[in-house]
């Protein structure tokens, strides 16, 4: 029977509807203006959503376990997650469906299985012999609370301690309860530790001496089974002899002060855990956590290592959750020979080398330090240049601190996954490695006292937190926007430099508007073609922040939130500061946070915007090219009919400062002095005539000139105006802050085509920026450099760029910028913009290939000139002049494809009506392009380009917090990621081809390893009974002798592990062949063993036959004699 595919039916329906709309559009346009059709190759069967791997430190860890033979580490969390670690690159994430906290983990050593005990009194048996572990069995206790589990090495009987003090026995093979129970019925309270005697399997120890001593927290055996050690709540250790249990052999207080006159030491904090490990060549190791004296207030958590007469106290950065000692042998009745200690901290994993002096730590190869500084934003780049990763790794390797252990990382179990060939490219999707770290706070002064703290009234979080990242992988230019309204531009260099003065610019950006009236239509009329552009003069960078000015009432003015260092800065190889840009306070109002950022290495420009306006900076000449309010980008044809709340009575065609800058500066004083300042600054009022901007004085600089005098019409009106702007400015700032809070918490917005409230339209922020080479106006015959600007009201505007020639002229001549008006409007805030050529291929922004900027002085002049070679890689140069382009624009509500240069809407798609899009990206997949969106209602959607035909709509996860909204991002090749917890990154794929091959990419957790040889008992130990005493647990705990347990005591739940194992084994040809080969090898090995046994049996049979024949002959001979 043929398989019915519903997705193909849906594709046919959507294709039919899109073709019908295309026919309508063709009827509307004449034959000469029809858009060329692009053959689309992506279909719905190319998409499938699934998680790939999780990176980072396990959030809220609660349990730890280690398999000493397989060399696999397991970590459980309070959210029910399970993380497994092998050799670097071998990681696995699992999740318990109940979400209950993991209280304990227990490996079936060298068996490829793991038992997890949860806080909901459930035991789970995990199968680790498949790439995606799954639960084989579950056991739910109904009457008692599970508190502790213990599984002896090479035993199939699991001891389960309960809250009532009882010990139940579980058969791990069938995961059923035995009828054998050690019953105490609350006589000794709850059990928190169970261990068996290493030399006598018939003796089981648990918390027994509660009535004699202080509360016991943990127990550890000596390998000979004659002694054990206990840790207590008063900070003492007691060593006991099993033959004299009346009192302890020895009492130790590791951190207690020894008092005179034989008095007992002062009590200390509880010792939460102790381990007792022996060595052949010396004294045993006693390792413990806690036990510090009470007078050590504020001291960090410590791990104490006692070896012989030496005691080492190792301080940790976070609280200790658990620790385990790694030993050479898994047998408890042999010398342990410890070589390392794994310490699970609240936010870190530390491995201590016990074999070297000073106990250094191992360098952690896992990407567990993602949360070292709280993550605020993420960007995902795929298909980077081949020389980029080696370059980052080489400079990042120099950042590694010294003092690590020289030995290799001891947790090295499992095998790497196979690289999979997908679309002629090899991907390893399941690994993550930290290449390089950059601290952006190094360029700022650190506050030493309360008076010197940064002016960060606009935020409650870290003033250095990064909000936006803009990176050009080809040129390696990096630009970040911080929460304190600052932008830092970095350039990559392999040479170490010392910067005497950090280049810096300060920008004044604060605007207000009058009440507005929203238009009904979506298409806004374009501005007339501008007559000319602005030609600003380069502004030298400031060597230090400008002196803060304040009015008589204490208003801050011209003050940045952070203070840039004015001392020489040594910059190591890697990313080095090129320019620091800061928005300053204006008239007592703090700068608003930056909402969008873009950098272009070919143009040498960086642009950023916020809810007040937009600023463009030439980082090569260190000059501000553009500094406008958002409404001023519209010019005289603002569809909302807004007007600045600043006097614009007398305007001049050119020169001077912009109106709001002068008004905000005038707010610093309300007396005659303020009027005088205002009059002098008002002379710089200028009109934005036909999109022309003259902003050279908008950035405060030591070389900026003063404005010419200007006579006001009415001094009294000016004073009244100052008071009015001052009041409304503060009110506006509060309204913006409250609006941002509402967006962050509620995640619900409603947009209307007719909005008259100032609470909406007055806060039009810059939400998207995109540099490109395309058609700026309808009459253009060839593409040219420009900047596309998207706002939160759904408006898209274009700013034309006139770049000087390359080389030295680029550093001398200014860049001319001129706004060219509105292209179109969409519903919702603009999120992403991109461009396609006539073949449907993505047109990336122009870029300049990376070259070493810090050329040594001994190089000749030709080499120096090459460092700014005017070569920009742009796909538009390969196109014919007559060829058109498509602009793809995605907003919170809909997406549009605009044909250029005609600016006609070729395709349109309403993405969501009841929710809004959080992230939208134009990505490459299977040699084609598509639009990927993540909505606030948890849906992930993809659309074909340019027709915007729906291809995928899957409910993935609900938006539960701002962390997901701020970090979710798509990239090429069907990949995406987001911050699933404060310490973990979740990667996923929406590619069908990747999902099908994912099984081959995952690493193997279990590898067949022979168990180490058991310790030799020795002749005398076996003769005099000094060796280990074995116990037939099957006879004691089996059903034949102990019967069956009550069904009401625990419920057995079969797991899906078997089915998952079959799916995993059948998912890939390579995996199937590998398993078949492994099975064949095992079968051959078994046949070889059988052959050897058969030969041995034949030999013994021949020997027996000969002996029997000799006995028979001897009997005959004796009979004859008799």
CA 631 to chain centre: 37
According to the model, what pLDDT value does residue 246 have? 82
According to the model, what pLDDT value does residue 187 have? 57
According to the model, what pLDDT value does residue 198 have? 73
Are residues 807 and 877 in contact, defined by beta-carbon separation less than 8 angstroms? no
According to the model, what pLDDT value does residue 603 have? 94
Place of tokens 């939208």: 920
According to the model, what pLDDT value does residue 205 have? 54
The Cα 550–Cα 765 span in angstroms is: 28
Tens digits of residue pLDDT in 66-121:
999 999 999 999 999 999 999 988 999 999 999 999 999 999 999 999 999 999 99
> What is the total residue count of the chain?
1122
According to the model, what pLDDT value does residue 961 have? 82
The Cα 249–Cα 240 span in angstroms is: 5
The Cα 1105–Cα 176 span in angstroms is: 48
Question: Mean per-residue pLDDT for 1058-1069?
Answer: 48
Tens digits of residue pLDDT in 881-919:
447 899 999 999 999 999 999 999 999 999 999 999 999
Q: Which of 76, 173, 58 is nearest to 116 (CA)?
A: 76
Are residues 44 and 943 in contact, defined by beta-carbon separation less than 8 angstroms? no
Q: Residue 929 forms beta bridges with which residues?
A: 924
SS3 1039: helix
Does residue 218 have a cis bond before it (omega within 30 degrees)?
Answer: no
The Cα 190–Cα 169 span in angstroms is: 16
Does residue 946 have a cis bond before it (omega within 30 degrees)?
Answer: yes
- Among 165-174, 390-399, 656-665, whose mean pLDDT is lowest? 656-665
DSSP state of 919: E
**Res 354 pLDDT > 90:** yes
According to the model, what pLDDT value does residue 673 have? 37
Q: Which of 102, 54, 114 is nearest to 78 (CA)?
A: 102
Highest mean pLDDT among 56-60, 718-722, 753-757: 56-60
SS3 184: coil
**Res 492 pLDDT > 70:** yes
The Cα 934–Cα 917 span in angstroms is: 6
Tens digits of residue pLDDT in 669-723:
323 333 333 333 333 323 333 333 333 333 443 333 333 334 444 445 444 444 4
Give me the chain's average pLDDT, please: 77
The Cα 212–Cα 684 span in angstroms is: 89
CA 829 to chain centre: 26
**Cβ neighbours of residue 278 under 8 Å, at least 6 residues apart?**
222, 223, 284, 285, 335, 336
DSSP per position, 642-703: --BSS--SS-BSS-S--HHHHHHHHTT--SHHHHHHHHHHHTT-B--GGG----TTSEE-TT
**Cβ neighbours of residue 97 under 8 Å, at least 6 residues apart?**
80
Q: List C-alpha distances in Å: 1008 to 110, 111, 172, 173, 1061.
A: 8, 9, 20, 19, 17
CA 1062 to chain centre: 32
Tens digits of residue pLDDT in 224-242:
888 899 999 989 999 998 8
The CATH architecture annotation of domain 58-192 reads 7 Propeller (2.130)
End-to-end CA, the chain: 89
pTM for the full model? 0.77
Q: Which of 881, 693, 656 is nearest to 801 (CA)?
A: 693
According to the model, what pLDDT value does residue 1027 have? 52
The Cα 51–Cα 977 span in angstroms is: 9
Tens digits of residue pLDDT in 553-605:
567 788 899 999 988 999 999 999 999 999 999 888 899 999 999 999 999 99
Looking at per-residue pLDDT, the higher value among 358 and 1072 belongs to 358
The half-sphere exposure of 157 on its side-chain side, counting CA atoms within 13 A, is 21
Are residues 278 and 268 in contact, defined by beta-carbon separation less than 8 angstroms? no
SS3 452: helix
Could you give the percent of the chain with pLDDT greater than 90?
43
Kindly tell me the number of DSSP H helices and DSSP E strands found in the chain.
Answer: 15, 58
Q: Which residues of 176-188 are buried (b: 16+ CB within 10 A; e: fewer)?
A: bbbebbeeeeeeb
Strands of the sheet containing 766-774, edge to edge, are: 766-774, 784-791, 795-802, 816-825
Number of Cβ atoms within 10 Å of the Cβ of 408: 12
**Res 656 pLDDT > 60:** no
Could you give the percent of the chain with pLDDT greater than 70?
69
CA 100 to chain centre: 24
According to the model, what pLDDT value does residue 957 have? 86
**Cβ neighbours of residue 1061 under 8 Å, at least 6 residues apart?**
127, 129, 130, 134
- E-strand stretches of 974-1035: 975-981, 984-991
Residue 666 pLDDT level (bands cut at 50, 70, 90) = very low
Question: Mean per-residue pLDDT for 307-335?
Answer: 93
Question: Mean per-residue pLDDT for 719-747?
Answer: 40
According to the model, what pLDDT value does residue 486 have? 96
Q: Which of 427, 488, 353 is nearest to 53 (CA)?
A: 427
The Cα 94–Cα 81 span in angstroms is: 6
Backbone dihedral angles phi then psi of residue 774, each to the nearest 5 degrees: -150, -170
According to the model, what pLDDT value does residue 912 have? 93
Phi-psi region of 71 (alpha: psi -120 to 50; beta: other; left: phi over 0): left
The Cα 8–Cα 43 span in angstroms is: 8
Residue 1073 pLDDT level (bands cut at 50, 70, 90) = low
The Cα 978–Cα 969 span in angstroms is: 7
According to the model, what pLDDT value does residue 747 have? 37
Question: Mean per-residue pLDDT for 420-445?
Answer: 72
**Res 487 pLDDT > 80:** yes
- Among 147-156, 543-552, 1000-1009, whose mean pLDDT is lowest? 543-552
Tens digits of residue pLDDT in 1025-1048:
555 555 566 667 666 666 677 778
According to the model, what pLDDT value does residue 521 have? 41
Largest separation between any pair of C-alpha atoms in the chain: 155
The Cα 73–Cα 75 span in angstroms is: 7
According to the model, what pLDDT value does residue 958 have? 78
Number of Cβ atoms within 10 Å of the Cβ of 526: 18
- Among 48-52, 425-429, 1098-1102, whose mean pLDDT is lowest? 425-429
Its sign, for the CA torsion 406, 412, 415, 420, is negative
Question: Mean per-residue pLDDT for 444-455?
Answer: 64
According to the model, what pLDDT value does residue 30 have? 40
CA dihedral 898, 904, 906, 909 (to 10 degrees): 70
**Cβ neighbours of residue 1090 under 8 Å, at least 6 residues apart?**
none
SS3 149: strand
Residue 633 pLDDT level (bands cut at 50, 70, 90) = confident
According to the model, what pLDDT value does residue 95 have? 95
Looking at per-residue pLDDT, the higher value among 38 and 481 belongs to 481
According to the model, what pLDDT value does residue 711 have? 42
According to the model, what pLDDT value does residue 780 have? 84
């Amino acid at each position: 029977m043929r398989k019915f595919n519903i997705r193909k039916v849906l594709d046919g329906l959507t294709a039919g509807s899109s073709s019908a709309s295309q026919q309508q559009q063709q009827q509307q346009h004449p034959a000469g203006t029809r858009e060329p059709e692009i053959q689309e190759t992506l279909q719905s069967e190319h998409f499938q959503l699934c998680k790939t791997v999780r990176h980072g430190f396990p959030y809220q860890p609660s349990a730890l376990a280690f398999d000493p033979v397989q060399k696999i580490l397991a970590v459980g969390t309070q959210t029910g997650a399970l993380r497994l670690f092998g050799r670097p690159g071998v990681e696995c994430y699992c999740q318990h469906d109940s979400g209950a906290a993991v209280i304990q983990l227990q490996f079936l050593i060298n068996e490829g299985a793991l038992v997890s005990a949860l806080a909901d009194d459930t035991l789970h048996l995990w199968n680790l012999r498949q790439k995606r572990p799954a639960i084989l069995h579950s056991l739910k206790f109904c009457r008692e609370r599970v508190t502790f589990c213990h599984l002896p090495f090479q035993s199939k009987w699991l001891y389960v301690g309960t809250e009532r003090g009882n010990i139940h026995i579980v058969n791990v093979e069938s995961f059923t309860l035995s009828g054998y129970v050690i019953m105490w019925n609350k006589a000794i309270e709850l059990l928190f530790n169970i261990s068996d005697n290493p030399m006598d399997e018939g003796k089981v120890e648990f918390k027994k001496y509660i009535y004699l001593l202080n509360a016991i927290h943990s127990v550890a055996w000596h390998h000979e089974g004659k002694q054990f050690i206990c840790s207590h709540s008063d900070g003492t250790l007691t060593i006991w002899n099993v033959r004299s249990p009346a009192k302890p052999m020895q009492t130790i207080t590791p951190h207690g002060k020894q008092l005179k006159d034989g008095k007992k030491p002062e009590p200390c904090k509880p010792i939460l855990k102790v381990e007792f490990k022996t060595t052949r060549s010396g004294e045993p190791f006693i390792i413990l956590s806690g036990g510090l004296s009470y007078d050590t207030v504020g001291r960090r958590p410590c791990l104490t290592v006692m070896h012989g007469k030496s005691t080492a106290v190792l301080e940790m950065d976070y609280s200790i959750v658990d620790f385990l000692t790694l030993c050479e042998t898994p047998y408890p009745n042999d010398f342990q020979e410890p070589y390392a200690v794994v310490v699970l901290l609240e936010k870190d994993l530390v491995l201590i080398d016990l074999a070297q002096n000073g106990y250094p730590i191992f360098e952690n190869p896992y990407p567990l330090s993602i949360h070292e500084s709280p993550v605020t934003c993420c960007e995902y780049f795929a298909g980077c240049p081949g020389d980029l990763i080696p370059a980052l790794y080489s400079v990042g390797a120099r950042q590694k601190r010294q003092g690590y252990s020289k030995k290799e990382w001891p947790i090295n179990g499992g095998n790497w996954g196979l690289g999979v060939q997908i679309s002629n490219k090899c991907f390893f999707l399941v690994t993550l490695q930290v290449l390089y770290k950059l601290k952006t706070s190094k360029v700022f002064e650190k506050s030493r006292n309360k008076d010197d703290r940064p002016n960060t009234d606009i935020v409650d979080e870290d003033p250095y937190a990064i909000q936006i990242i803009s990176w050009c992988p080809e040129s390696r230019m990096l630009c970040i926007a911080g929460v304190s309204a600052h932008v830092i531009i970095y350039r990559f260099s392999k040479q170490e430099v010392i910067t005497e003065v950090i280049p810096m610019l300060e920008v004044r950006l604060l605007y207000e508007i009058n009440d507005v009236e929203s238009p009904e239509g979506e298409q806004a009329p374009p501005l007339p073609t501008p007559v000319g552009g602005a030609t600003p003069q380069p502004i030298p960078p400031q060597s230090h922040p400008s002196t803060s000015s304040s009015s008589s009432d204490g208003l801050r003015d011209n003050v940045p939130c952070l203070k840039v260092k004015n001392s020489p800065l040594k910059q190591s190889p890697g990313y080095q500061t090129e320019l620091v840009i800061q928005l300053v306070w204006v008239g007592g109002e703090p700068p608003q946070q930056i909402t969008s950022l873009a950098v272009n290495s070919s143009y040498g420009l960086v642009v950023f915007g916020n809810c007040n306006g937009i600023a463009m900076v030439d980082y090569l000449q260190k000059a501000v090219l553009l500094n406008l309010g958002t409404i001023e980008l519209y010019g005289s044809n603002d569809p909302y009919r807004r007007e600045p709340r600043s006097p614009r009575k007398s305007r001049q065609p050119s020169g001077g400062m912009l109106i709001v800058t002068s008004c905000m500066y005038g707010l610093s004083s309300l007396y005659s002095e303020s009027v005088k300042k205002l009059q002098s600054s008002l002379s710089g009022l200028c009109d934005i005539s036909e999109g022309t901007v003259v902003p050279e004085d908008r950035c405060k600089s030591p070389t900026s000139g003063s404005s010419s005098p200007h006579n006001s019409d009415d001094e009294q009106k000016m004073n009244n105006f100052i008071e009015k702007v001052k009041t409304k400015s503060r009110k506006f700032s509060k309204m913006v802050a409250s609006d941002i809070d509402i967006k962050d918490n509620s995640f619900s917005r409603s947009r209307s085509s007719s909005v008259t409230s100032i609470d909406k339209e007055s806060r039009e922020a810059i939400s998207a920026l995109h540099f490109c080479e395309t058609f700026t106006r309808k009459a253009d015959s060839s593409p040219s450099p420009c900047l596309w600007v998207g706002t939160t009201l759904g408006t898209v505007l274009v700013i034309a760029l006139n770049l000087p020639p390359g080389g030295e002229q680029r550093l001398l001549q200014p860049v001319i910028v001129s706004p060219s008006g509105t292209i179109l409007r969409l519903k919702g805030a603009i999120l992403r913009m991109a461009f396609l050529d006539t073949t449907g291929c993505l047109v990336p922004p122009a870029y300049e290939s990376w070259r070493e900027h810090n050329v040594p002085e001994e190089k000749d002049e030709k080499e120096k000139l090459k460092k700014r070679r005017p070569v920009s890689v742009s796909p538009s140069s390969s196109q014919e002049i007559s060829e058109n382009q498509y602009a793809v624009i995605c907003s919170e509500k809909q997406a549009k494809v605009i044909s250029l240069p005609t600016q006609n809407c070729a395709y349109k798609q309403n993405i969501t009506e009841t929710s809004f899009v959080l992230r939208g990206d134009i990505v490459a997949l299977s040699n084609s392009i598509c639009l990927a969106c993540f909505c606030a209602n948890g849906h992930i959607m993809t659309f074909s380009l340019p027709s915007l035909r729906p291809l995928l709509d899957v409910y993935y996860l609900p938006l539960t917090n701002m962390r997901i909204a701020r970090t979710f991002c798509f990239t090429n090749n069907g990949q995406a990621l987001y911050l699933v917890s404060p310490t973990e990154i979740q990667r996923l794929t929406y590619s069908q081809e990747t999902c099908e091959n994912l099984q081959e990419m995952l690493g193997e957790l279990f590898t067949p390893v022979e168990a180490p040889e058991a310790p030799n008992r020795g002749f005398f130990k076996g003769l005099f009974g000094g060796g280990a005493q074995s116990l037939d647990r099957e006879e004691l705990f089996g059903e034949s002798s102990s019967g069956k347990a009550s069904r009401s005591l625990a419920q057995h739940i079969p797991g899906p592990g078997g089915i998952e194992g079959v799916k995993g084994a059948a998912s890939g040809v390579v995996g199937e062949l590998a398993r078949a080969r492994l099975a064949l090898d095992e079968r051959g090995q078994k046949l070889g063993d059988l052959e050897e046994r058969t030969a041995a049996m034949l030999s013994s049979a021949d020997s027996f036959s000969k002996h029997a024949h000799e006995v028979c002959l001897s009997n005959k001979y004796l009979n004859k004699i008799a």
